[in-house]
Structure 1
Amino acid sequence: MKIFNLSILFIILSSFSFENFDVDELEKESILYNASILAKNYSGNKDQWKHEYGLPKPKQICEKTSVWLDSYARAIITEKGKTVIETLSDPNLWNILTDIGIEGIHTGPMKEAGGIITGTHTPSVDGGYDRMSLKIDPNFGTQAQYLEMAKTIHSYKAAIVGDLIPGHTGLGYDFVLALMNYKDYSGLYHMVEIDKKDWSLLPEVSENDFSKNLSFNEVDKLKEKGYIVGRLQRVIFAEPGIKVTNWDATKKIKGTDGKTRRWVYLHYFKAGQPSLNWLDPSFAANSLIAGDIMESVGVLKNDGLRLDANGFLGIEKKPGKEKAWSEGHPLSLISTNLISMLTRKLGNFSKENGGFTYQELNLTIEDMKTMLKLGSDFSYDFITRTAYVHALISEDADFLRLNLALMNNAKISPIRFIHALQNHDEITYELVEFDINAEKEFSYKGGQYTGKEIREKIRDEDFSKILTKKTPYILPSGNGPCTTMVGLCSAALGYRDIFSMTKDQKEMVKKAHLLLTFFNAMQPGIFMVSGWDLVGAYPLKPTQVKDLIKGGDNRWINRGAYDLLGDSDQKFSKSNLPKAKTLYGSLNKQLLDPLSYASQLKKMLKIRKEYKINLAWMLDVLDVKAAPLYIATYKLQDKSLLMIALNFSKDPIEEEVDITQIKYSRAKNLMTNKKEEKSFFSSKFNIKLDGFEAKAIVF
C-alpha cells in the first residue's frame, strides 16, 4: 500500500493530500469491508442458532466465572524477547492467578488503534479506544499468539473478555473513506457535508491540522441552519484551547467523485474518535460493529466483551431546548440490545450460553436498569464506586448507604454489576444520578437534600482533601481524580510524600486498600481486580509521562507499567510506559507472606467461592449509629444469612444491631473461621471492628 511505503517518517498534513491514498487498499483494510467478509461465515449457517440470545443470563455466567483480572495491555512489562500476549498467556502466571482465585481476564483493547489521516499510522489518542482495524496491534503480538493465549486461559477454565467500542472509531481506514465520500462509508459517522455557500460559518483550519474544534457560537449557527443537532448535554474531555464543544470542522477534502467538501463531525470524546451514526439508512455502523463482534467471539475466541461508553449511541435535536438529547437515548438502548443479543447469539462461552457483555455505562440508575433488561448481562458498578471512595476519604458511609438503598429501591440486584477497584480511567465523580436529578430530594444524613446539594457536598468534601497541594501525586481530570488505589488510600490517610512512606504508613495504606477490596469482593456478581491493585502500584510522577499528559489527559499517571511475576528487568512496557513503583511487589513473593495483599485477597476469594457469595441475594443495608460503619445482609444459596460489616475509620467501632432473621442462630467469622459471640435465642448481635477492619459473618 503506497501510503505506508513513504520514506519520510513524519508527514505533516500540509504536504499530504487525500489523493495520495489508494482507495482499493484502504477498503481492504477497513473494518466495514472485513465485516462483510466475516458475515459470510454466519449468514445461512446453522452456527447462528446454537444459543439462546434474547435475555441476559447473569447468574449462569457468574456460576462459571465471577472473579476477573482487569488487565491493560499498554501497561504490561514483558521479559526480553516476549510479547505482551505471550506474557499474559504464560502458564506460570495462570497457575498463580487461579491459585489466588481469579477465574477470568479482561484484556483491555488489543486491536490496532489510532489513525492514518496523515498518510502514515498515527498512535492512539485514547489508550487504544480509537480502533482502526480488526487486526491485533503488533505492539502486543500476533493473532496466532492471541489464539494460543485464549487456548491457555480456557485450559484453566477461565474466561477471556475483550473490548468493543460501539460509539466511535479512530481516524483510520473507514473514516478516511467516509471523508472521501466513498460508497456507504460516510453513513458510518455522525458527519454532515456543509454547503460551500456556508463555509464562512466554519473556522479556518491551519495547514498542519486536519480539523478544528467548533466554538459554541459556531455550533449554534450550524444548528440554526439545520446542519447539526447543536450542543450536547455534556462536553467530555473539555480542555480550553483543545476541546470546547463536541464538534469539529475538517479542512477541504477532495472525494473519490472529484468534489471538494468540508465536513462537520461529532465526537463525544476526543477529535480522534469520530462518533458512529447508529440510525443512518445504510446501517453501516451496525454492520461495522457486527464485524468487530464476529472477529472477537468467532475468530479470537473471546467469551465476553466490554462495551465502551454504550450510553452515547443516540442523539436527537430537542425543539425549544438549548441542548440535544445525547445521553440515555432510546437508540442507545436499542443498539445495546442488538449488540448484546448478537454477542450471545454468536459466542461460544459454553454449550448453554453464547457470548456475554458488560457495559461501561455511567448514567442514572433508572437508565442502567432499563438497559440491563434485555441488553448487557452486567454493568460496571458506578453506583457504589464513588460512594465507597467517599466513605474512606470522609470516614463516613452514609453516602454509600444512600446509593445501595437507591439500587435496592430500583430492584436491581448487585449480581448485575462488575464491582471493581482500579481501572485505566480516573475515579469518576460525575455522580450522574444526582446531577440528572438535581432538583429531586433524597433522604440523606437524617434530612432531605436535593441531588445538586448532595453532589456538590460530596465533591467539595473529597476534592478539598485529595486534590490539593498536599497530594501532588493525584491530578484532576474533567470527571474526577487520577491516581491508583495506593495513591487514593495514601491521600485519604493524609500522607503527603507517598514515595517516602514509613513502614507503619505503608501498612495503613495496605489496610485501607484491603478494606476497599473486601467491600467489592464480597458483592454478588462479578468482582474485578486490576494488575495495578495486585502489585500495589503507586501513581507515576507527572514528569515521567509529561508528553502524554500535556494535552490534559492526566489518566496516564495511574497507568504505570507493572510485572505481575517479577521476572523481567525491563523498566518500560512495550508501549513505553514507565514501570510504576509498587507497594506489594510480585505475586510470587507476596504469596510467601500470609499477611500480604495477594494472600489476604486469596483468603477472601476462597470464602467468596465456598459460600457462593457471587450468587447471594441482597436483603438490606442497615441503618447504624456510627457514621463509618457499613453493614449489609445477604441471603446465601443455602438460605443462611451473611452479614458484611466494614469500618471505614482508623479507630475501633462497637455497635449492637438487631436483625430478626438471626434469631435462633450462631455466628461464625468467615475470615478467621471462628465463632463470634452471640446468644442463640437473641436477634441482637454486637459487632466489634478495629480500624479499617472488615468481617464476613454467617448466621
Structure 2
Amino acid sequence: MKKLITALLMALVLLGCKKEVKQAEPVAQKEQSGTWWKEGVLYQIYPQSFKDTDGDGFGDFNGVIEKLDYLESLNIKMVWMNPFFKSPMVDNGYDVSDYRAIQPRYGTMQDFQRMLDGMHEHGIKFVVDMVVNHSSIEHEWFKQSRSSRDNPYRDYYHWWPAEKGEPPYRWSFFDPDGAWTYDKKTNAYYLHYFSAAQPDLNWENPKVRQEVYNMMKFWADKGVDGFRMDAFQFVSKDTTFPEFPKGYEKNVAKWYGMNPPIHKYLNEMYDQVFSKYDVFGVSEGAGTTFQDAHDLVDADRHELQMAYHFDYVDMSRSTKGYELTDFKNRFTKWDKEFEDKGWLSIFLSNHDNSRLVNRFGNPSPEFRTHSAQMLNTFLMSMRGTPYTYYGDEIGMTNIDMPNIDEYVDVSAIGDYKKALARGDDMDKFMVELNYNSRENGRTPMQWNDSINAGFTTGIPWKKVNPNYKDINVATEEKDPNSVLNHFRKMVKLRNENKILVYGKYQLFDAENEETYSFSRTLDDRKVLVLLNFTDHGSDVVLPEIKNMENELINNYSSLDKTDDKVTLKPYQAVIYELKTD
C-alpha cells in the first residue's frame, strides 16, 4: 500500500512539474503549435457564381455539393462562403434580413446541412460570412426599430432625432448622399456606413451583442468551423457622433474603425463562442496600425484568431499598376511584425477586387498561365493562411464591361454617381472601373466549354466571360502543365511541408524590381523561393544558389542555373531545398 501511495505522490509531482513547464512556455511558442486553420489552405466561394443546378441562373448549395470531389481534389482544407442568409440582395447578400434563414435561391436549410456534412466528409472545414456591422432594412429588427421611438428595438440601430438638426456628416461607402438617411415615420435619421438599405446595428446595446452571439452559436451548433466577420472593425461607434476632420474619408478605417469598446465586445464573443467550439474568427479589416492588428488576434487577448488586413490588396487598384519593391516591402513588414505573435491571412484577391492575374500578373494568352502559376506559388509559400478565390486556381481573368449600364454592383453604381457629382472625367473613370470593379471577380465559374461555361442551363445572373472556351476546369484537367494542376501540386507541397507554414521568412535582394527571392527556414531545413514578376528573362544572383539541391516545384520544365546565378524565364516560379550544415 505504501508503495502505491508513494507512486501516486510521485505521479502528482511529475504532473505538477509538467504543468509548470507548460505555463512557462512563451506565448510565441504556443501560437506556433499545429492548428488546422493555420495549416490548411482556404478556398473562397461566391455562392451565386459557383454552380447552378436548378436552371435559375444563380449558383446554389446543390451546385457546391455536386463539386465536392473537385474541391477535395484541390487539396484545400477550408471553404469560406459569402453570405447565403435571407436577403433582398441589394448588396448580394451583405444585407441580411434573417440571420437564421437561407436565401431561397441557394436552397433550404436541409440543403445547407447536406452541403456542410458533405464538406466534412471530404475533409473540408466550413467558414461562414457573418454580416453584423449592419443588417438589411427589411430585417424585422429594423422594421420594429423604425416603427416608433419607444419601440423596444429602437436602440438596435443608430438614430439621430431631426429636431437636433442635421446629424454630423458621415461618408458612406456606397451612398453618394452620405451615411445618414432621413426616415419620415419617426422624424429621425438612421446611420448606414454602406448603402441606405444596410442600416448599422448598435453594438453599444448589449441586447444587440447577445443577439449576435446567440446567432453565431446557432451556426456553430450546426457544425460550421469558422466565422469571417464582415466590416467588423467598424462595429463600435462613438454615439455622440463628433465632427471628424475635413478629408477624413480618405482614411475611413482610422476614423470609423477600432473604437476601443470593440475589444470588450470581442472578449464577450470569445467567452461565449470561440472558447466553447473548435472554431476560429477572422475580422475583415485590422485597423490602421500593427498594434491594432495584434490587439485583435494575439492569442493572449482572447479575441479573434486571424488578421485580415487590406495592405496587400490596396496595391494595384488602378491601371497604373504597382511596384514590386512596394509589394515585397508590404509582405515583408507584415511577416516581421507577426513573426512571433498572432497569425495572418495571405491573399491577393477576393469578392471585392478584380481578378488576381489582371492585377498582379499578366492576362495575355502568352503569359496568363505562367503568371497565374507564379502568383499561386507565392501565396502558398508565405507564412500565414493562404486564401484562394474561386476561379484563381484556373487563372480566370477580368471581363470587359466598358459601359455603366452593364453594372449591377451597388458599389460600382455608387462610385459612378459620386464621380458624376464631382465632375470627374467619366471616360477615364470608366477605364478604371472596368479594370478594378468588383464585377470582375463575380462572373460565373468556368467549368467547361459548353454554353454558359457549364455554370447553368438557364440565363446566368451575370454574363459569363467570353474566354471560357479556353479557360475552364475541364480543359485544364487534361493539361498536366495547366494553372489548375500546378495549383494542386503547390497546395499539396504546402500541406506536406510545415516549413512553408511555420518557417522563418528571409527576404533577399529587396530592391530588385523584377524578381522576388526569399527563404523559409524551420529547424534544420531551409528552402529558397525564386519568382519572376516580369514577361522577360531575369537574373537572380545570390550566394544561396550554390546550395540549391532538390527541386520541390517549378512551373517550367527546366531551370537555367550556374553556381551563383539563376536566369528565370518569364513569370517562372521555383522552390528548391537548400543544403544546410
State the TM bucket, normalised to the shorter chain. 0.7 to 0.9
Structure 2: which amino acid aligns with 1:266? L
2:12 corresponds to 1:84: no
Q: Which residue of 2 aligns with 1:25?
A: none
Q: Give a deviation string over 1:127-174, Cα, whole Å, max 9, x none.
A: 111111020111100000111111110011110111112211111211
Question: 1:484 pairs with 345, 349, 355, which one?
Answer: 355
CA positional deviation for 1:274: 1.0
Q: Which runs of 5+ in 1 are unaligned?
A: 1-53, 114-122, 202-217, 220-229, 254-260, 348-353, 427-482, 499-504, 680-684
Q: Give a deviation string over 1:15-45, Cα, whole Å, max 9, x none.
A: xxxxxxxxxxxxxxxxxxxxxxxxxxxxxxx
Q: Give a deviation string over 1:306-362, Cα, whole Å, max 9, x none.
A: 111111022225878647942222123332343345332343xxxxxx111112115
Question: 2:204 pairs with 256, 279, 283, which one?
Answer: 279
CA positional deviation for 1:379: 2.0
Q: 1:610 to 1:320 in 2, by over 3 A?
A: closer
Structure 2: which amino acid aligns with 1:595? N
Question: How is 1:497-576 mapped onto 2 (pairs within 5 angstroms)?
Answer: 505-542=364-401, 545-548=406-409, 549-552=412-415, 554-564=437-447, 569=454, 576=461
Q: Which residue of 2 aligns with 1:74?
A: 48
Mapped contact 2:128–2:228 kept (Cα < 8 A): yes
In the alignment, the residues of structure 1 paired with residue 561 and residue 440 of structure 2 have an alpha-carbon distance, to the nearest angstrom, of 46
Q: Which residue of 2 aligns with 1:597?
A: 483
SS at match of 1:696: strand
Q: Which residue of 2 aligns with 1:298?
A: 221
Q: Which residue of 2 aligns with 1:154?
A: 120
Q: 1:269 to 1:413 in 2, by over 3 A?
A: farther
Q: Which residue of 2 aligns with 1:312?
A: 234
Mapped contact 1:187–1:284 kept (Cα < 8 A): no
Structure 1: which amino acid aligns with 2:285? L
Structure 1: which amino acid aligns with 2:333? L
Q: Give a deviation string over 1:397-424, Cα, whole Å, max 9, x none.
A: 2112321343245345698222224311
Q: 1:73 to 1:320 in 2, by over 3 A?
A: closer
SS at match of 2:283: strand
Q: 1:105 to 1:565 in 2, by over 3 A?
A: farther
In the alignment, the residues of structure 1 paired with residue 169 and residue 328 of structure 2 have an alpha-carbon distance, to the nearest angstrom, of 35
CA positional deviation for 1:249: 1.6
Q: 1:89 to 1:337 in 2, by over 3 A?
A: farther
CA positional deviation for 1:363: 3.0
Q: Which residue of 1 aligns with 2:534?
A: 649
Instruction: Say what the alpha-carbon RMSD is for the aligned residues.
Output: 3.4
Q: Which residue of 2 aligns with 1:130?
A: 95
Mapped contact 1:96–1:587 kept (Cα < 8 A): no
CA positional deviation for 1:285: 1.5
Mapped contact 1:189–1:277 kept (Cα < 8 A): yes
Mapped contact 2:391–2:446 kept (Cα < 8 A): no
In the alignment, the residues of structure 2 paired with residue 573 and residue 267 of structure 1 have an alpha-carbon distance, to the nearest angstrom, of 35
Q: Which residue of 2 aligns with 1:400?
A: 327
Q: Which residue of 2 aligns with 1:101?
A: 75
Q: 1:289 to 1:357 in 2, by over 3 A?
A: same
Structure 2: which amino acid aligns with 1:292? M
Length-normalised TM-score, structure 1: 0.65
Question: How is 1:37-56 mapped onto 2 (pairs within 5 angstroms)?
Answer: none
Question: 2:157 pairs with 189, 192, 195, which one?
Answer: 189
Question: How is 1:574-589 mapped onto 2 (pairs within 5 angstroms)?
Answer: 576-582=461-467, 585-589=471-475
Structure 2: which amino acid aligns with 1:338? E
Mapped contact 1:647–1:653 kept (Cα < 8 A): yes
2:577 corresponds to 1:698: yes
Mapped contact 2:551–2:575 kept (Cα < 8 A): yes
In the alignment, the residues of structure 1 paired with residue 536 and residue 320 of structure 2 have an alpha-carbon distance, to the nearest angstrom, of 12
CA positional deviation for 1:618: 2.8
Worse overlay, 618-627 or 283-292: 618-627
In the alignment, the residues of structure 1 paired with residue 568 and residue 317 of structure 2 have an alpha-carbon distance, to the nearest angstrom, of 19
In the alignment, the residues of structure 2 paired with residue 647 and residue 677 of structure 1 have an alpha-carbon distance, to the nearest angstrom, of 14
Q: 1:382 to 1:87 in 2, by over 3 A?
A: same
Question: 1:237 pairs with 157, 173, 186, which one?
Answer: 173
Q: 1:529 to 1:404 in 2, by over 3 A?
A: closer
In the alignment, the residues of structure 2 paired with residue 131 and residue 688 of structure 1 have an alpha-carbon distance, to the nearest angstrom, of 52
SS at match of 2:542: strand
Q: Which residue of 1 aligns with 2:194?
A: 269
Q: Which residue of 1 aligns with 2:145?
A: 178
SS at match of 1:383: coil
Question: How is 1:323-402 mapped onto 2 (pairs within 5 angstroms)?
Answer: 325-347=255-277, 354-361=278-285, 363-364=287-288, 365-373=290-298, 374=301, 375-387=303-315, 393-394=321-322, 396-402=323-329
In the alignment, the residues of structure 2 paired with residue 572 and residue 193 of structure 1 have an alpha-carbon distance, to the nearest angstrom, of 51
Q: Give a deviation string over 1:559-587, Cα, whole Å, max 9, x none.
A: 11225467875658888223333455432
Report % sequence identity.
19
In the alignment, the residues of structure 1 paired with residue 131 and residue 69 of structure 2 have an alpha-carbon distance, to the nearest angstrom, of 31
SS at match of 2:145: helix
Q: Give a deviation string over 1:454-500, Cα, whole Å, max 9, x none.
A: xxxxxxxxxxxxxxxxxxxxxxxxxxxxx3234436xx75xxxx8xx
In the alignment, the residues of structure 1 paired with residue 352 and residue 454 of structure 2 have an alpha-carbon distance, to the nearest angstrom, of 27
Mapped contact 1:535–1:564 kept (Cα < 8 A): no
Q: Give a deviation string over 1:99-149, Cα, whole Å, max 9, x none.
A: 221222111101012xxxxxxxxx222111111102011110000011111
Structure 2: which amino acid aligns with 1:87? G
CA positional deviation for 1:629: 1.8
Q: 1:642 to 1:169 in 2, by over 3 A?
A: same
In the alignment, the residues of structure 1 paired with residue 458 and residue 291 of structure 2 have an alpha-carbon distance, to the nearest angstrom, of 41
Mapped contact 1:85–1:140 kept (Cα < 8 A): yes
In the alignment, the residues of structure 1 paired with residue 143 and residue 448 of structure 2 have an alpha-carbon distance, to the nearest angstrom, of 42
In the alignment, the residues of structure 1 paired with residue 243 and residue 462 of structure 2 have an alpha-carbon distance, to the nearest angstrom, of 48
In the alignment, the residues of structure 1 paired with residue 400 and residue 472 of structure 2 have an alpha-carbon distance, to the nearest angstrom, of 21
SS at match of 1:175: helix
Length-normalised TM-score, structure 2: 0.77
Q: 1:402 to 1:344 in 2, by over 3 A?
A: same
Q: Which residue of 2 aligns with 1:473?
A: none
Mapped contact 2:237–2:259 kept (Cα < 8 A): yes
Mapped contact 1:249–1:263 kept (Cα < 8 A): yes
Worse overlay, 378-387 or 157-166: 378-387
Mapped contact 2:297–2:342 kept (Cα < 8 A): no
